[in-house]
């Protein structure tokens, strides 16, 4: 999927976002701008609101106040159109369920099928649509899991499971990939493979937004870093954002000093 947008507008833009769970504030007056076709790493301590931001984007949570736009339109429009793919940190699925790797990746196409008003009546035919099979095959090849296509997902290692979940996101062929800690708990070969896959996706023009605690890979791959701790602490280049001074401000939840060069601020 390759929609054409004004390249000058942000892929994701938030203005004055507030969010809470059970009346407990999680995000407070968050404003941000994430560029198209770039790799943005989101870094913050546990409980800083990183996953909450993703839940707002995919529609699992509604903001208390504020505006969230994707390609200068309502985020809901792009969710419905399948322009946003999401890979959760901990997938809520039964790993012992008797389903194959290929079938698991195929479920990533479900949302695209559902956009068809006749999807329930045509579901068997839609599953057999060659476009879905081709997208799944390409995604499995990208994460080097083609030879595992018929294997039950419960028989996979932790790193292999993460690669399958990434393949499911890739199979959606979305313009924006949201990834919540995709490197957590994976072995070194899987980590290297995941990073290489995301690098290729970024070079192909897709927007990568990744929550991570991995500073070395952020320094190597990310175009922009967003520091968040319930508020936006800063956004800019990896070199500027991953300095000792900025990481200390992140830990304290403080906003940056007004004269900090290259940093964008919450309104």
Is the domain of 71 the same as that of 197?
Answer: yes
In a domain, 89, yes or no: no
Q: Tell me how far CA of residue 37 lies from CA of 84, 180, 205, in angstroms.
A: 13, 18, 5
Instruction: Please answer whether residues 229 and 247 qualify as being in contact, where contact means their C-beta atoms are separated by less than 8 angstroms.
Output: no
SS3 29: strand
- Whole-angstrom Cα distance, residue 163 to residue 139? 10
pLDDT at 94: 67
- Structure-token pair, residue 73: 């339109």
Q: Answer whether residue 33 shows pLDDT above 90.
A: yes
pLDDT digits (tens, 9 = 90+) for 71-105: 988 877 666 667 899 998 766 666 677 789 998 89
pLDDT at 173: 92
Is the domain of 178 the same as that of 235?
Answer: yes
Residue that is last in its domain, among 150, 173, 196: 173
- In this prediction, residue 121 has a pLDDT band, given cuts at 50, 70 and 90, of very low
- In this prediction, residue 5 has a pLDDT band, given cuts at 50, 70 and 90, of low
In a domain, 159, yes or no: yes
Indicate if the alpha-carbon torsion angle 207, 6, 14, 254 is positive or negative: positive
What average pLDDT does the segment 149-170 reach? 91
Please, where are the H alpha helices in the chain? 50-58, 75-80, 101-106, 110-114, 119-127, 130-142, 158-170, 188-203, 215-221, 238-241, 244-252
This prediction has a pTM of: 0.85
Is the domain of 75 the same as that of 160?
Answer: no
Give residue 221's Cα distance to chain centre.
15
Q: Answer whether residue 44 shows pLDDT above 90.
A: yes
pLDDT digits (tens, 9 = 90+) for 215-250: 999 999 999 999 999 999 999 999 999 999 999 999
Q: Radius of gyration (Cα) for the chain, nearest Å?
A: 19
CB neighbours (10 Å) of residue 150? Answer: 9
Q: Answer whether residue 265 shows pLDDT above 50.
A: no
Range of the domain at 43: 1-83+174-267
Residue that is last in its domain, among 128, 144, 173: 173
pLDDT digits (tens, 9 = 90+) for 122-143: 344 455 578 888 999 999 999 9
In a domain, 88, yes or no: no
Residue that is last in its domain, among 152, 173, 194: 173
CATH number at residue 258: 3.40.50.300
Q: How many domains does the chain have?
A: 2
In a domain, 61, yes or no: yes
Is the domain of 63 the same as that of 169?
Answer: no
In a domain, 8, yes or no: yes
Is the domain of 131 the same as that of 191?
Answer: no
Is the domain of 122 the same as that of 239?
Answer: no
Give residue 237's Cα distance to chain centre.
19
In a domain, 220, yes or no: yes
């Amino acid at each position: 999927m390759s929609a054409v947008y004004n390249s000058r507008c942000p892929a994701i833009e938030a203005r004055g976002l507030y969010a809470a769970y059970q009346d407990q504030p999680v995000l407070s007056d968050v404003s941000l701008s994430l560029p198209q076709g770039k790799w943005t790493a989101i870094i913050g301590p546990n409980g800083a609101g990183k996953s909450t931001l993703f839940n707002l984007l995919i529609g699992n949570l509604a903001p208390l106040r504020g505006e969230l736009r994707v390609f200068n339109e309502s985020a809901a429009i792009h969710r419905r159109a399948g322009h946003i793919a999401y890979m959760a940190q901990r997938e809520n699925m039964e790993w012992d369920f008797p389903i194959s790797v290929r079938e698991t990746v195929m479920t990533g196409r479900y949302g695209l099928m559902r956009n068809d008003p006749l999807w329930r009546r045509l579901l068997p035919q839609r599953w057999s649509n060659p476009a879905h099979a081709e997208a799944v095959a390409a995604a499995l090849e990208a994460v080097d899991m083609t030879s595992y296509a018929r294997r039950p997902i419960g028989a996979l290692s932790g790193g292999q499971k993460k690669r399958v979940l990434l393949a499911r996101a890739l199979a959606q062929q979305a313009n924006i990939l949201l990834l919540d800690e995709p490197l957590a708990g994976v072995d070194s070969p899987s980590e290297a493979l995941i990073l290489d896959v995301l690098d290729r996706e970024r070079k192909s023009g897709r927007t990568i937004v990744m929550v991570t605690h991995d500073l070395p890979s952020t320094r190597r791959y990310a175009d922009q870093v967003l520091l968040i701790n319930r508020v936006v602490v800063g956004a800019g280049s990896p070199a500027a954002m991953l300095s000792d001074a900025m990481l200390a401000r992140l830990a304290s939840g403080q906003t940056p000093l007004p004269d900090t060069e290259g940093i964008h601020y919450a309104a």
